[in-house]
Every structure is written in structure tokens, then in C-alpha cells.
Amino acid sequence: MNTANFNLPKDVAKILVDPIAQTDLERLHAAYTWMRANNAFGRATIDGFDPFWVVTKHADVSAISRDNNLFHNGDYSLTCRPKAAINHIIATTGCPHIVKGLVHSDGDEHKNLRALTQAWFMPNSLLKLDGRIRTFATSIVDKLQQGNGNVVDFAKDIALYYPLHVIMDILGVPPEDEPRMLMLTQELFASEDPELKRARQGVSASPSDMGKALMAVVADFNDYFERVIADRRTNPRNDVATLLANAVVNGKPLSNMQRIAYFLIIATAGHDTTSSSSAIAMWALSRFPELLPRLKADPSLIPQFVDEALRFASPVRHFMRTATADTEIRGRTIRKGDWLMLCYGSANRDEEVFENPFHFNIDRKPNRHLAFGIGGHVCLGQHLAKLEMRILFEELIPRLQSVEPAGEMDLVASCFIAGPKHLPVRCIVH
Ligand code: HEM
């Protein structure tokens, strides 16, 4: 079969690997919309990158995510990086991942690792956190109140710290170390953003330097969590850190690398994403004035508001999959070893699933968004993220008298995560 028939136009494909272009949401969504209509399962061939299939439809992202035998997370890079960066990682670690953990594992290894913490992150188990999270949320609303009438950067000065505080509390990291964790996460996730990446410390932006910078960030995480693990082994507590420090799979303790990787994914996946979605929820309140009075009058709508903010934000832009055998989808022959990009942001605007998808509509019921993925690797922290957002807005909305935009939202330059870096608003909070 001639795959060239399905090649995407170069200018469309390039947007998918251009972090700066992706800060222009109109341009990005124009590209997604064009692909959904004209080449919904196209092939991107871009200089410096391995070729990959671009999965833009809700149905295809769902089907591929659910078929964890045919499409693996761990066989090749799970995020779309330049070939030189991946080669550097392989040369350094012996595998295509900086650290191979839960999200990069497949089959029984994945099931066993996931089972270690799955119950801890289920809604019933999280009920115990309600009071603590509410206290953090109240202090965040108090902080917002201090800025009454002035321009406040809701993304940078408010939303960023709340989920960070919750996840660090769960991992047993003391508040004084939170700024360090925040910096490491931003360097790891937003490694392409000029304002946030390690390059600002003197490393140039070539792909292999990007690989080296990422490895340095992981080494910092490693040093930090080694100390947390040692502490929990001697002083066990009722937290995830203690659970992981003493975890056993098939009668054997986790390897050092498996344990660090677990800490790393929970520490990093758990806050940027949730703060981005909270900031998008606030953006919606400031842009659509009819929302605030509706939510004040009926707070039972807050969970729907949260879900729609998650759909709109789609804070993870993509994860990659690698085919383990030849297969056929939408008339395309996918070969064993082919790399596929699951575009959550596109699936969440799919007109076949969401009526008027560019409209922020809290009445979608059910809201079948894929912001958390779906299938075997569906987000472990989805209930925690929703709980944090629900509690934040349950505390904020009754006290929020008004909110209006005070400038343009500025997005993080990244092909992997989507979210506001700056969101200037002017609020009055009681
Ligand atoms: C709005 C917030 C969040 C979003 C949008 C989000 C998104 C995602 C997505 C799309 C995946 C799927 C990965 C795949 O299919 O390969 C995922 C997995 C994961 N997320 Fe989240 N996440 C969020 C919050 C959290 C939180 C709070 C935690 C904290 C525990 C967390 C921990 C994880 C872990 C550990 C995985 C890997 C699960 C596995 O491979 O079995 N996430 N997340």
C-alpha cells in the first residue's frame, strides 16, 4: 500500500511538532478541524522526526486507547520528540524513556504496577482528603481576595499552587520543598517553553541538548525522592509515599528505578494538568458572564462545569502509541512498529460527538471528553483532579462577586501539555 496517499500536508503536520505554533489555539484547532474533515487518520512525515500517524477522531482515539495489546505505551517514545532526542535517551537509559514507569509499561507489568495505588485513588478512598483539600482551596480563595480590584495572574499566581500543594501533601513532600518540585515539573513537562525550560540555565535548544537537560531534571527528582523513600521506610505514614516505599510486586520489592518512576509520574502528572484545567475554568467564568450567576444559583452544576473545563482545556495534547502487529484502521494499513499520535484536543472537539464543539456548554450530559484518556492507562488521578477542581469552585463561586478579563491568556509553548502560563483577570471576592 502507498502510505503517501495519506500523507498530511507539510504545513499541517509541522504544527503538531511546533511548540510555538501550538500557543496559537485558533491555528492549532483549524489544523485539527481540517484533519478531522479531510484526513482524519493522516501520516505526518517531518524532518528530524520518525513518521507517525495522527489520530484525530474521538472514535479512533478511544478504540486505540482501549486496545492495550495491539497498541503499546512502552515500545517507543510515549511523547512525540525529535529523533535525535529519542536517540540520546536510548543511548543513555537503554530504552526510549527517560525513566520507565507505570505509564510506559504494558501487559502484566502495567497491571501489577497500577494495582499498587489504584484503590488509593478511587473516589471512596479520596473522601478522606475532602477536609484537607477544602482548607487548601479556602486559602487559595483568600489569596485571590487579597488581589481584589487589581489585575491578578490567575494561572501563575493562584491556580499553579493549589494542585501542587495537594499532590505534594499526598506524596509527603513538605511545603518548603514545593517550589523546587514545581520548577522540576515545569522543566520536565514544558521543556520546549523558553520561559520554563532548563535551557534558561545555559543549555542550548538542540534536540540532544534537550535530551541531556531532561536527564538532568530526572537526576534531581531521583536525589529528592531517594530521601523521601528512606524516611518512609523508617517512619511509615498513611500516605502514597509510604505505600510506594514498601511496595512489593509478585513477592519482590519494586526496583529502585520503578519506584522513582512511580513517584515521578504522580509528582509531575498531578499538578500542571489540574492547574491548567482550573485556569481554563476561570477563563470561562471571565469570558462568559452568564456562567457565574447560573453556578451561584445552582452549585449542583459545578461538576458539569468542571467536566466542560476539562474538555475545553484538554491539558494533555497527546500521548503516542506503538503498534505491536499489522492492522487496518480507516482504510489505512498500520504496520507493526508504526508510531501513532493520539490527539486528545482534537477528539474533544469532534463534531460527531460534541454538538457545537467550540461552544463552552455546561449542559453536555454525558460529557464524553477524553481529557483523561480511556482504556487500561486511563488517568490514575482523574478522580483526584475532579475532586480538587470541584472543591475549588465550590469554595470560590459563592464568594466570587465578579470576574473579568484583564488581558490576553498566554499559553505554555509545548507540544505535549496545553495550558495557560498567564491568565490576567480582575475579580471581586468576598
Ligand atoms: C486535569 C488533570 C489531569 C489530566 C488531564 C490527566 C491526563 C492523563 C492522561 C490523558 C493519561 C493517559 C495516559 C495514556 O493513555 O497513556 C493520564 C495518565 C496518568 N495520570 Fe493523569 N491527568 C490529570 C491528573 C492527574 C493527577 C492528579 C494524577 C495524580 C495521581 C495523575 C496521574 C496519572 C498517572 C499515574 C497516569 C498513568 C496511568 C497508567 O499508565 O496506568 N494524573 N493522565
Residue 172: left if φ>0, alpha if ψ -120 to 50, beta else—which one? left
Ligand 1: list residues with CB < 6 Å: 65, 73, 102-103, 114, 121, 265-266, 269-270, 273-274, 277, 310, 315-316, 319, 344, 371-373, 377, 379-381, 384-385
Which residue, judged by its Cα, is nearest atom 16 of ligand 1?
377
Q: Say what the pLDDT of residue 34 is.
A: 98
Listed in sequence order, the residues at least 6 apart from 35 whose beta carbon sits closer than 8 Å to its beta carbon are 8, 12, 42, 54, 56, 346
Using the mean position of ligand 1's atoms as its centre, give its distance from the Cα of residue 385 in Å: 9
110 CA: nearest ligand 1 atom: 41
Q: Say what the pLDDT of residue 221 is.
A: 80
Q: Say what the pLDDT of residue 333 is.
A: 96
What dihedral angle (degrees, nearest 10) is formed by the CA atoms of 308, 313, 316, 318?
90
Which residue, judged by its Cα, is nearest atom 31 of ligand 1?
381
104 CA: nearest ligand 1 atom: 40
Q: Which three cell numbers, joined as nine digits, stand for 405?
A: 478579563
| Burial class (CB within 10 angstroms; exposed 0-12, middle 13-18, buried 19+) of 38 | exposed
Q: How many CA atoms lie within 13 A of 146 on its CB side?
A: 9
**What are the Cα distances from residue 287, in Å, to 358, 363, 393, 426, 429?**
14, 17, 16, 12, 17
Ligand 1 pocket mutation, candidates 258, 380, 412, criterion most atoms within 8 A of CB? 380
Q: What is the distance between the alpha carbons of residues 59 and 346, in angstroms, rounded to a whole number?
A: 11
Q: Say what the pLDDT of residue 202 is.
A: 41
Q: What is the distance between the alpha carbons of residues 210 and 217, in angstroms, rounded to a whole number?
A: 11
Listed in sequence order, the residues at least 6 apart from 291 whose beta carbon sits closer than 8 Å to its beta carbon are 284, 285, 305, 360, 362
103 CA: nearest ligand 1 atom: 40
Q: Say what the pLDDT of residue 204 is.
A: 47
Q: What is the distance between the alpha carbons of residues 350 and 60, in angstroms, rounded to a whole number?
A: 11
For domain 3-429, which CATH number applies: 1.10.630.10, 2.70.98.60, 3.40.50.1820, 3.50.50.60? 1.10.630.10
Using the mean position of ligand 1's atoms as its centre, give its distance from the Cα of residue 145 in Å: 31
277 CA: nearest ligand 1 atom: 1
Domain assignments of the chain as residue spans, ordered by start: 3-429
Ligand 1 pocket mutation, candidates 55, 340, 382, 417, criterion most atoms within 8 A of CB? 382
Orientation of helix 382-396 relative to helix 302-313, angle to 10°: 120
Q: What is the distance between the alpha carbons of residues 423 and 430, in angstroms, rounded to a whole number?
A: 21
The three-class DSSP label of residue 427 is strand
Per-block average pLDDT, block size 10, for the chain (430 residues)? 77 96 95 98 97 98 98 97 91 87 94 95 94 96 95 94 90 85 72 51 54 75 85 88 90 85 85 93 98 98 98 97 97 97 98 98 97 98 98 98 96 92 96
Q: Say what the pLDDT of residue 181 is.
A: 81
Q: Say what the pLDDT of residue 227 is.
A: 87
